[in-house]
Amino acid sequence: MPLFPDYFQDWLFDALALQPGDELCDELLEPLHTLHRRLMASDAATAYADDPAAMRSYACFYMPINMPKLWRMLDRCGDALTTALANGPVTVTELGCGPGTFLWALLFYLRHHRPDLLPNIGKLMGVDRSPVALKLAGKFAKSIRRDPLLAKVPCEFVQGDWREHSGNAGIVITGNVLNEADDTAITFGTPAEQLLIIIEPGTTAVFQQILPLRQQLIDGGFQINFPCPSQHACPLAADNWCHFHINRFELPLIQRMANRLHRQNDRHHFIGFVFSGTTTNAENQWRVLSRLRRVHRSGIRYICDGRHVVEAVLGRRDKATGNAAFAKAAAGDRILMDGPRDAATFAQSKHIRSTDRIDIVD
């Protein structure tokens, strides 16, 4: 479900000083061509952040594409977010915030789902080393004050290295930043005090980069609320990678720009993790990792319980009302699979049985 508020495009265009139709002008699209080439070439990956034209284009195109990634994860991490915000005031920090992408995404999410929790945000804080990015973030903050529901949320933007600010906020979000870092080891607070959200490009190389951090956080006592339903070494680590996707054309504005940029693939892949001190029930819980593939009226898809990755099969003769959710679940959903088998036995057989009971958890 899109969470862009009705005024989203006005808000975006107001902060970027754009008029309707400007999204297709060369002034905006040319930097995106260059930015894309730079992001592909790792040796110049960060140079765009100091270029006002590139940052403006990034904010117009990539910020709206990135926001739904956070929304999908927050929908699927149990009550980790509500627990983190329950005893406000809570500081929310985005490390490497650029234009403030995930700060605004979180605000829009709460505005839509839990406006009662908005007063529990003590402060939004964006940290970035680029003054160009921070200036832009400040413009979005100014513009957001026009929404009476969000007008009172204090915003602060700090220039600096994100490593210096990772330990001291109740909710910490890093998005598309760790992939630019040589070393992803981070100083964090304690699991009882912090909710950590990591969102990165959905490539195998970035997944390998994040795995040591995942282990660092498990060793530090954090629970994984998304995506792994358990705390074990990742079973995908050796030969695959855990990633999800959103439809980047949720906004017609982005579809128009993507068409002009010849970027017609609607899928935008990402890697995402939510860590906190809140325990997510792991028993019989499986994360759906792929779309349903239909072969001769059977359904096949990858699911993972954090210990076993299984290419599970629901044969046409085994379809039943009780296990229909196996086919119905979306990639990224968590399912509860109840049957009189342990996970290891199921992982070997791979077959869903007509007597298995499957429910979508979130």
Ligand X SMILES: C[S@@+](CC[C@H](N)C(=O)[O-])C[C@H]1O[C@@H](n2cnc3c(N)ncnc32)[C@H](O)[C@@H]1O
Residues that bind ligand X (CB under 6 A): 46, 49, 62-63, 66, 96-98, 101-102, 127-130, 133, 161-162, 175-177, 180
Q: What would the 3-class secondary structure string for 182-223 be?
A: CCCCCCCCCCCCCEEEEEEECCHHHHHHHHHHHHHHHHCCCE
Minimum CB distance to ligand X smaller for 107 or for 127: 127
Indicate the pairing of strand 293-295 with strand 267-276: unpaired
Separation between Cα atoms, residue 90 and residue 104, nearest integer Å = 15
Minimum CB distance to ligand X smaller for 51 or for 359: 51
Residue type, position 332, single letter: G
Q: Output the furthest CA–CA distance in the chain (Å, rounded).
A: 61
Nearest distance in Å: CB 171, ligand X: 14
Residue pair 243/270 in contact (Cβ under 8 Å)? The answer is: yes
Minimum CB distance to ligand X smaller for 176 or for 231: 176
Nearest distance in Å: CB 197, ligand X: 11
Residue of this chain nearest to ligand X (CB atom) = 98
Nearest distance in Å: CB 117, ligand X: 22
Minimum CB distance to ligand X smaller for 133 or for 144: 133
Nearest distance in Å: CB 28, ligand X: 16
Minimum CB distance to ligand X smaller for 64 or for 277: 64
Nearest C-alpha neighbor of 169 from the set 110, 126, 222, 136: 126
Nearest distance in Å: CB 54, ligand X: 10
Backbone angles phi, psi at 16, to 5 degrees: -95, 5
Residue pair 237/215 in contact (Cβ under 8 Å)? The answer is: no
Residue pair 110/102 in contact (Cβ under 8 Å)? The answer is: no
Minimum CB distance to ligand X smaller for 59 or for 310: 59
Give ∠ CA 17-21-24 in degrees, rounded to 5. Answer: 95
Minimum CB distance to ligand X smaller for 85 or for 133: 133
Separation between Cα atoms, residue 198 and residue 274, nearest integer Å = 6
Nearest distance in Å: CB 180, ligand X: 5
Nearest distance in Å: CB 174, ligand X: 7
Nearest distance in Å: CB 55, ligand X: 7
Look at the block and give the residue holding tokens 């699991």: 191
Residue pair 347/286 in contact (Cβ under 8 Å)? The answer is: no
Separation between Cα atoms, residue 151 and residue 231, nearest integer Å = 39
Minimum CB distance to ligand X smaller for 27 or for 161: 161
